[in-house]
Structure 1
Amino acid sequence: MLLEKKSRNFLNYFNKRDGCVILASTEAGLMNKLNEILSLIDGYIGGSQWFVFLLLGTGLFFTIYLKFPQFRYLGASLRIVRGKFDRAGDEGDTSHFQALTTALSGTVGTGNIAGVALAIHLGGPAALFWMLVTAMLGMTTKFVEVTLSHKYREKASDGTIAGGPMYYMKNRLNMRWLAVIFAIATIFSSFGTGNLPQINSIANSVHATFGINKLLIGGVLAVLLGFVIIGGIKRIAKVTSRLVPLMAVIYFVGALAVIFYNYENIIPSIRAIFGDVISGTSAAGGFLGASFAFAFNRGVNRGLFSNEAGQGSAPIAHAAARAHEPVSEGLVALLEPFIDTIIICTLTGLVILSSGVWTEKMDNHFQDADLQILAGTYSDANEQDRSNLATYLLEEDGINLFSGELDVVDGQIKSDVTILHARSVAESVEVLKDGKAFSGSLTVVNGHVPLEQKVDFYGKSLIHSAPLTTEAFTRSWFGDYGRYIVAVGLLLFAFSTAISWSYYGGRAVTFLFGVKGVIYYRLVYVLGFFFASFTDTTIVWTLSGITIALMTIPNLIGILMLRKEMKSEVSNFWKEYSDFFARR
């Protein structure tokens, strides 16, 4: 429980970093308090251990119950995506491929760039192994939720297809109240997951890389977003069916350039991913080590939220696909976690591991939420100190935080303390105020310098999230140009996520208020996208964690209640079409 509590608090900050949301000192009052309350609530729901086991358990149950469909039916999935199973007159708004790319554009996002880096930063190479295991189970969960949602879809008053978990909850389970909770949570999640943090991430990344004004970035992309989403699912599907392959090619080329440039580290990296699973990862460079439990926790957490298996978002996109059999669309969805996590996240992981940047300390501007001042002097070059620090990071025990007056002369700390930043012992630390070396005393309370003292800490430490992936991409034949690949990839990934989530939210609005309410939702969605490019979205990002759980929990309960129906659907499908797939 202590491990989970610490990792949850730690991740509340870093999940914000995945969306490039940085707490400013001017927002330290009421807004921070509200955010702390929301984080506490999320800690008991989406950030809790039971939620992780519910997700994993559901995937494991259906994997065994349906006899490992992610292995048995992969070939059939590929044939269906290629149009081999299509019939003239199939009802729907998009093709199988367009539905797949729309759903993928909603899941392939900043988590594939920043989330993998965060998992490795926290749990070491073994965390990637648990991401892959989670994806394998998630393939079955996606298969089930999409099949059931497609079966109970409806035609909206404007003639378009409306579907998603809320429809099987209403039409099959007769639990409209549960469907309403899911739909409301989907609307909030569309802003908290697919809209505000995504443009905030784009604006920060593009501004840092190219120096373009955030207001201009937000204005241009908001206009583009409005043009795409106001056209509805058919225009969204056309855009994503072109955008997803393009961003995949760009990212793949950059990733492979890093991996093969560091070819001598490929085998050692693969060994570390699988070899550290039981023992945990030993200290290496600035990395202080990670236990089995921490690697498992971080790998599962990042894997689950990378591919969204069980959340119920992808079934909304797949419901629009032209298909005469619900199971066939479920088989298409089975490919999503495979592409999103097993392929893309593995590539990102190998880039980070083979480049070696995950153990290197680099010049860094220390963030307050990631900085701790320890009483006494510790060195990661000393084996006993490393062991004590590793134990402290896992259990918050054995080392005392510094409280009192910190003496600083010309930016150099003179007190007997150790600066811990990004889970590493910081080196070459300087303290600046208004850009100049600070001299004087700083009041430290429980290892932290209060924000009102307005000082900045700089030095060398480990880095994480998107900056870690960005640095890794520079270790190739492209050199510093590799960072542009990450910037462009992040732009395309995040923008495509915003497009897909606008559709998810719009379908939830259709369920609750009818088609007439969608235009107002889209206008608010575009306006929110613009304003979030230059304002803080901390509270919305935290609220997103809660709404994701409020989407996922009823969806998992619903598909578990319909397990027998799902098994019957699959059995009947193969009885009728086994000869068709055998001939191809």
Structure 2
Amino acid sequence: MERLNQLTADFSSAVWGLPLLILLIGGGLYLLIRSKFGTFRLIGHAIQVLRGKYDDPNDPGQISHFQALTTALSSTIGMGNIAGVAVAISIGGPGAVFWMWISAVVGMSTKFFTSTLAIMFRGKDSAGELQGGPMYFIIEGLGKSWKPLAVMFSICGLVGALPVFNVNQLTQAINDILLYPNGVEVGFTSNLIVGLVLVSITAVVILGGLRLISKTASKLVPGMVLLYFVSVIIILIVNIEVVPKYFAMIFTDAFAANNFKGDAFFGGVLGGLILLGIKRGAFSNEAGIGTAPLAHGAAKTDEPVREGLVAMLGPAIDTLIVCTLTALAILVTGVWETTSNNGVSLTASAFGEAMPEYGKYLLLVCIAVFSISSLFSYSYYGSKCLSFLIGADKKHYYNYFYIASIILGATTTLDMMINLIDGVFALMAIPTMLATIILAPKVVKELAAYKARLKENKL
């Protein structure tokens, strides 16, 4: 097990080097500048689209704009926001949050481009059904000679979509919040039981296909975001006198790196802190990784820009809002300095500190729903990758492999899971970002045409 831990750590640090940082952040900045920040001026219009103002049941696709966003958000709002932020703060201190924000702002532009491409260059699977996602826009947009990049994305997606991190952290939360305090012995057997329960719940939904997944996600996600939001606001009100101090620390510590305990990168601790923030930001909102375009590519629309604008709201919701709430809860309660907890346990300590009687249980409800809803979405992503590789008639085999991996996630260590997923996410970003940068001029042209039609009220 120690050898495996070391291998996954080496793999993650090898792929998350300077080249990938330049590709994700440099590429995102290029897309931001290329669009002349125009997408940000259309946020109000994006909200109208999300609310269904422009929905047309006759448009090609499988699910509505709202269902596409909630399906994508159900995979990103979850452990990336609750456990991922806690991991970032426990290693990097308050300053890590600032670099997660930077990652999110750049990520909004990246999400717009990748999800617009997912609609612009939809392809057909072996069953003749319309599909969207990086592997399809690589082949349809760049040509068949680029197929190796599409294959690379799909192979990495098979592993990247596995729910091992989410399950690992949900199991840890159940142990820390429910089992330990009530005197239940925690070990391999209890973890296995949690894994088997999750297998049962997940199997029922994912074997029902995309429409059941998106319908379930669209009902679960908004309510849980609201419950989580209200819970954290209570924590901030209880600790209102120190909120300004820690909010300011997010900015000052981002450049001082006084609380950074990780490995130096590019010659210093500040480089290490920036890398940590961007890694956790990428894990939180998945911008540039290529998972969200798999969901947005199934949206019912014949306007690619429209879906890109809806997708752009994702990083704003999950990183700028949900991650910031989690970070402030951890910072203002002081648990990041007073405990050695990591991951979801650190967030649970913050909730327990501010609301001693019921705080941890509120968090457990949110974590359970976030985690379980993300289990549904990731299974869809993985089966779509397998469908591309070996045919739509065999994609259901992925679900069995996926369900089995839930047991693995419930019974292994946090470090191994986070390093494995980090590493594979990095490899998924390479084909996604390369294709997006090459195809960016076509998206810019489409955006200009869409804005012109919007101005003339022809939409």
With the length of structure 1 as denominator, give the TM-score of the two structures: 0.71
1:128 and 2:93 matched:
no
Residue 525 of structure 1 and its aligned partner are, at CA, apart by: 1.5
Instruction: Identify the residue that residue 263 of structure 2 maps to in structure 1.
Output: none
Q: Which residue, out of 211, 215, 219, partners 1:234?
A: 211
Q: Which residue of 2 aligns with 1:471?
A: 349
| Cα-Cα RMSD | 2.3
Equivalent positions of 1:487-502 (< 5 A) are 487-502=364-379
State the match for 1:63 in structure 2: 32
Alignment partner of 1:117 is 2:86: yes
| Matched-pair contact (CA < 8 Å) for 1:355–1:472 | yes
Q: Are the counterparts in 2 of residues 116 and 348 from structure 1 also a CA contact under 8 Å?
A: yes
1:191-202 to 2 correspondences below 5 Å: 191=162, 195-202=163-170
* One-letter amino acid of the structure 1 residue matched with residue 153 of structure 2: F
Q: Write the letter of the residue equivalent to 1:185.
A: C
- Cα distance in 1 between the residues matched to 2:47 and 2:259: 40
C-alpha distance in 2, partners of 1:525/1:54?
A: 30
Measured in 1, the distance between the counterparts of 2:106 and 2:155 equals: 27
1:265-344 maps to which residues of 2 (within 5 A)?
Answer: 265-281=242-258, 292-344=270-322
Q: Classify 1:543/1:124 alpha carbon distance in 2 versus 1 (closer, same or farther; 3 Å).
A: closer
Partner of 2:156: 185
- The higher-RCO structure (CA 8 Å, 6+ apart) is 2
The equivalent of 1:207 in structure 2 is 175
Contact 2:95-2:250 at 8 Å conserved across structures? yes
Deviations 1:343-379 (A, max 9, x none): 000101111122122222x4xxxxxxxxxxxxxxxxx
CA contact (8 A) 1:473 1:483 kept: yes
Q: Percent identity?
A: 37
Distance in 2 between residues matched to 1:139 and 1:69, nearest whole Å? 12
Paired letter, 1:466: V
Structure 1: segments with no counterpart, 5+ residues? 1-26, 284-289, 363-461
Once residues 326 and 389 of structure 2 are traced to their aligned partners in structure 1, the CA distance between those partners, rounded to angstroms, is 39
Structure with a larger share of its residues in strand: 1
CA contact (8 A) 2:282 2:289 kept: no
In the alignment, is residue 148 of structure 1 matched against residue 26 of structure 2?
no
Whole-angstrom distance in 1 between the partners of 2:412 and 2:87:
24
Structure 1 contact 189–548 (Cα < 8 Å) conserved: yes
Distance 2:402 2:244 in 1: 46
**Aligned equivalent of 1:486:** 363
Structure 2 SS opposite 1:87: coil
Specify whether residues 275 and 550 from structure 1 end up closer, same or farther in structure 2 by C-alpha distance, changes over 3 A only. Answer: closer
Specify which of 28, 33, 44 is matched with residue 14 of structure 2.
44
Q: Secondary structure at the match of 1:242?
A: helix
Out of 549, 552, 570, the position equivalent to 2:447 is 570
Deviations 1:370-428 (A, max 9, x none): xxxxxxxxxxxxxxxxxxxxxxxxxxxxxxxxxxxxxxxxxxxxxxxxxxxxxxxxxxx
In the other structure, the counterpart of 1:553 is: 430
Partner of 2:265: none
Superposition deviation, residue 570 in structure 1: 0.8
The alpha-carbon distance between structure 1 residues 133 and 296, as it changes in their structure 2 partners (threshold 3 A), is: same
Distance 2:5 2:91 in 1: 23
Q: Find the aligned partners of 2:103 and 2:416 in 1 and give their Cα distance.
A: 28
What is the rounded CA distance, in whole Å, between the counterparts of 1:37 and 1:202 in structure 2? 24
From 466, 490, 506, give the equivalent of 2:383.
Answer: 506
* Alpha-carbon separation, structure 2, partners of 1:133 and 1:529: 32
Matches within 5 A, 1:417-496: 462-476=340-354, 478-496=355-373
Q: Which residue matches 2:187?
A: none
In the TM superposition, residue 60 of structure 1 has moved relative to its aligned partner by: 0.8
Task: Return 215-224 or 228-237, whichever deviates more.
Answer: 215-224
Q: Verify the 8 A CA contact 1:69 1:140 in the aligned structure 2.
A: no
What's the secondary structure of 1:479's corresponding residue? coil
Q: Which runs of 5+ in 2 are unaligned?
A: 185-189, 261-267
Question: TM-score scaled to structure 2, two decimals?
Answer: 0.90
Query: Hey, what does 1:223 align to over in structure 2?
Result: 200
CA distance in 2, matches of 1:271, 1:545: 29
Q: What secondary structure sits across from 1:121 in the alignment?
A: helix
Q: Distance in 2 between matches of 1:550 and 1:113?
A: 24
Counterpart for residue 139 of structure 2: 170
| Cα pair distance change 1:96/1:135, threshold 3 Å | same
Rounded Cα–Cα distance in structure 1 between residues aligned with 2:40 and 2:255: 25
Q: How many equivalent pairs are there?
A: 441
Q: Given the alignment, which residue of 507, 511, 521 partners 2:398?
A: 521
**Could you say which structure has the larger radius of gyration?**
1
Q: Give the CA deviation at 1:159.
A: 6.3
TM-fit CA distance, 1:70: 4.6
1:249 maps to: 226
Q: Report what 1:394 is aligned to.
A: none
Give the whole-Å Cα distance in 2 for the aligned partners of 1:267 and 1:42.
Answer: 35
Residue 17 of structure 1 is matched in structure 2 by none
Distance in 2 separating the partners of 1:351 and 1:243: 23
